Structure 1
Amino acid sequence: MSTQDTYRTDLADFLGINADRISLYWKGRVGLYAVLKAMGLGPGDEVILPAFTCVVVPNAILYTGATPVYVDINPNSLCCDVQSIEKAITPKTKAILIQNMLGLSYEVHEIGSLAKARGIYTIEDCTHGFGGKYQGQVNGLMSDAAFFSSQWNKPFSTGIGGMLVINHRALKEPLQKINATLVAPSFKDRVVLSALIWARTYLLKGYTYWTLLRWYRWMSNKGWVVGSSSSEELVGTTMPEGYVKGMSLVQCRKGIKSLKSLQKAMLLRKNNALKVHDWLVEHHKMCVPQPLMEDHAFLKYPVLVKDREAFIEKAEKARLPLGDWFISPLHPVKSSLVPWGLNINQYPHARYISQHIVNLPLEGDLSRLMNFLELYQNEIL
């Protein structure tokens, strides 16, 4: 069995499905693009998605020629609810993205039932949700298709990378034709990614986190290293050269290794999330609603703060690796969102959350983090 087949089989075993339903890609967003093409989307079609996501998601839609239609989020779940989605449906709607946010899925069955009744495809955005469940069912298996990410800081990592799961039989054949056109990662791609994986494994520590993060983002924006997003993806809506790319053996080997420790990592994150949650409740802060806790896989724990820049600056001085997902309704774009067809004034919840959210790390010992929260509790909403 090849390395890619072994990795695909390991993923399938973890999800409880057949391996032939899984396609592997250089990045998860390529899986979204591929399935949209397999669904036959193009000019004149619409795709409903949250107005609080990563810019690469509407990019994948725009690359097909289709139009993204944004829906505001529920401020409690950070996901869209079925009522808001229903209002956005038009005769042009061909697909609905059901987003998992930081490990939390929300109203998946309700949205799926609505879409099925209207003859609309559903796609789970599980870039944060691999390994989690919603009402006892595995994330990614409750819709027509689902795409996942295994980039840095995701449930498990292949450096960069992602995959697609197909649940609708009619999509299998057209997807195979699209996969046959995938570009292979170049020698440079593989070497640079291997070096980054090594650096992250051996050099990225608490005291080096912020310095290396700034360096990595600057280098990736320049196109000098393999980044989560290329500079082209952050400034416009033209598909970058070599976008439709398959997964390398470097990523597969890293994925095989990472999956072996995923269950242990998920349990640690869940236990740590409960500690943070209890502290937030005790101090009367905003937190994940209790009814959503049981199925929440918790990639990170989201909290809202009065002044995010000041709060993150304090965390940097304390050498705590806080996350900044999402710093804008279309992360990480801070400039005008007009090229992506999004007017932030029409989505007040997404705008507010994107101005105040930080996410707390849930790996390892939380002693320093909890002390930090105690020290700056008045800055937390």
Structure 2
Amino acid sequence: MSDVLHYYRGRVALHAILEGLGAGPGDEIVVQSYTCAAVVEPLLRLGVRPVFADISRDTFGIDPAGLAGLLTPRTRAVIVQHTFGIPAPMPEILAIGRTAGVPIVEDCAHMTPGTVARSGSVASFWSFEWGKPVVAGVGGSAVVHDAGLAAEMRARYRRYTAPPPAREAVMAAEYLAYRVAAGTGVLWRLRSLYRRLAGLGMVTGSYSPDPMNSPEYGWRMSRGTRWRLPSRVAAGRARATGRRRVTGRDIGYVPHRIPVVVGDKERVLREAALAGVEAGDWFATPVHPLAGDDLAAAGYTAGSCPNAEWAAAHVVTLPVRPGTRPADLDRALSLLARIEAKTDA
């Protein structure tokens, strides 16, 4: 039986998992490139060195072929991301981890709870914020499968407290605004605004997280999010069958975004928005949205993960929502193809 612990955000849940595994200065954590800065932030806060693995162009997740060569005696864990809801090749990754004696942690932020088979990882973490398959408000959870890790995390969980009342009030207002915007269908046009409201945007300047100035890493999930979570998860599970078949056939998993390879990414995104079609830029850099000095400060070396850099430059994504139909996806794909044809002309 797995333990479930609720934290202020998905990144806080990941931080708690890694802390429970004993990760700290001098350790390394393997994490895929073509990911979000929120995944790397907890590593830097713990003083851990991120080791970036390149991705497969098939799954947009860690390529098992290069994984074993990244593991050293200092490797404390491997974080496996199920990018866009596409399952990573867990049997191969778990076999590599077992051979090296390295635990595997799953990033399930793009997955619908209840649709992920038990894989053999020590823990997984989830996020329920805007843009995720299940939205309940700012919040994240750790699902812990290893008994020893669960006991360690339970003991540490006593130190976590509820967010202050003022922050709870702000989050309640954010969630209400989200539901209104989502109901009108304009949420995707307000993406940058919601990132700022939820504190998801990265600040400019040097990327150097300071745990002393980040009280959220000591907070549990807010009361409002915790209250909404069961019903939102139940609704997500009920709609999973329809989302699974949005491509017109059962592809064996529940997609969150459909990746589409394009030539001129910026032009495609711009013209798709003008035509009223939502196309996302996930992920615009190997550690989205960091670039330049910020990307280097996060531990990424330019040129180290060529597949991730290719994907950042050439992949846009189409959303898969409960009401999305195969015909909707076909129309969006046709529009992207027409834009591409203009680009090539």
TM above 0.5, one fold?
yes
Whole-Å separation in 1 of the counterparts to 2:143 and 2:329: 36
Aligned partner of 1:235 in structure 2 is 207
Aligned partner of 2:29 in structure 1 is 47
Whole-Å separation in 2 of the counterparts to 1:55 and 1:365: 28
Alignment partner of 2:162 out of 180, 184, 202: 184
Query: 1:177/1:347 Cα in 2 relative to 1: closer, same or farther (>3 Å)?
Result: same
Whole-Å separation in 1 of the counterparts to 2:101 and 2:80: 16
User: CA contact under 8 A between 1:237 and 1:339: conserved in structure 2?
Assistant: no
Query: 1:375/1:112 Cα in 2 relative to 1: closer, same or farther (>3 Å)?
Result: closer
Following superposition, the deviation at residue 153 of structure 1 comes to 1.9
Alignment partner of 1:154 out of 132, 147, 150: 132
1:219-238 Cα distance to aligned partner (Å, 9 max, x none): x2xxxx33335638983333
1:50-98 Cα distance to aligned partner (Å, 9 max, x none): 1111112121112111111111111111111222110111111111111
Whole-Å separation in 1 of the counterparts to 2:185 and 2:310: 31
Alignment partner of 1:145 out of 114, 120, 123: 123
User: CA contact under 8 A between 2:245 and 2:251: conserved in structure 1?
Assistant: no
Whole-Å separation in 1 of the counterparts to 2:8 and 2:262: 35
Query: 1:375/1:69 Cα in 2 relative to 1: closer, same or farther (>3 Å)?
Result: closer
Whole-Å separation in 2 of the counterparts to 1:117 and 1:207: 48
User: CA contact under 8 A between 1:300 and 1:359: conserved in structure 2?
Assistant: yes
**Uncovered stretches (5+) of structure 1, i.e. residues with no partner:** 1-16, 279-292
Between the two proteins, what is the percent identity of the paired residues? 26
Alignment partner of 2:55 out of 61, 73, 84: 73
Question: 1:268-279 residue pairs with structure 2 within 5 A?
Answer: 268-272=242-246, 274-275=247-248
DSSP 3-state at the match of 1:371: helix
Aligned partner of 1:338 in structure 2 is 296
Give the TM-score of the pair, scaled to structure 1: 0.81
Alignment partner of 1:300 out of 237, 242, 257: 257
Aligned partner of 1:353 in structure 2 is 311
Whole-Å separation in 1 of the counterparts to 2:331 and 2:84: 23
Whole-Å separation in 1 of the counterparts to 2:88 and 2:188: 32
DSSP 3-state at the match of 2:175: helix
Whole-Å separation in 1 of the counterparts to 2:85 and 2:114: 7
Aligned partner of 2:283 in structure 1 is 326
Following superposition, the deviation at residue 133 of structure 1 comes to 5.1
Following superposition, the deviation at residue 301 of structure 1 comes to 0.8
DSSP 3-state at the match of 2:309: helix
Question: 1:108-127 residue pairs with structure 2 within 5 A?
Answer: 108-127=90-109
DSSP 3-state at the match of 1:267: helix
User: CA contact under 8 A between 2:163 and 2:216: conserved in structure 1?
Assistant: no
The amino acid that maps onto 2:152 is: P
Aligned partner of 1:259 in structure 2 is 233
Whole-Å separation in 2 of the counterparts to 1:68 and 1:144: 19
Following superposition, the deviation at residue 246 of structure 1 comes to 0.6
User: CA contact under 8 A between 1:130 and 1:148: conserved in structure 2?
Assistant: no
Following superposition, the deviation at residue 271 of structure 1 comes to 1.7
Following superposition, the deviation at residue 369 of structure 1 comes to 4.9
The amino acid that maps onto 2:38 is: V
The amino acid that maps onto 2:190 is: L
Aligned partner of 1:375 in structure 2 is 335
The amino acid that maps onto 1:150 is: F
User: CA contact under 8 A between 1:204 and 1:212: conserved in structure 2?
Assistant: no
Following superposition, the deviation at residue 174 of structure 1 comes to 1.9
Whole-Å separation in 2 of the counterparts to 1:249 and 1:228: 20
DSSP 3-state at the match of 2:31: strand
Following superposition, the deviation at residue 371 of structure 1 comes to 2.7
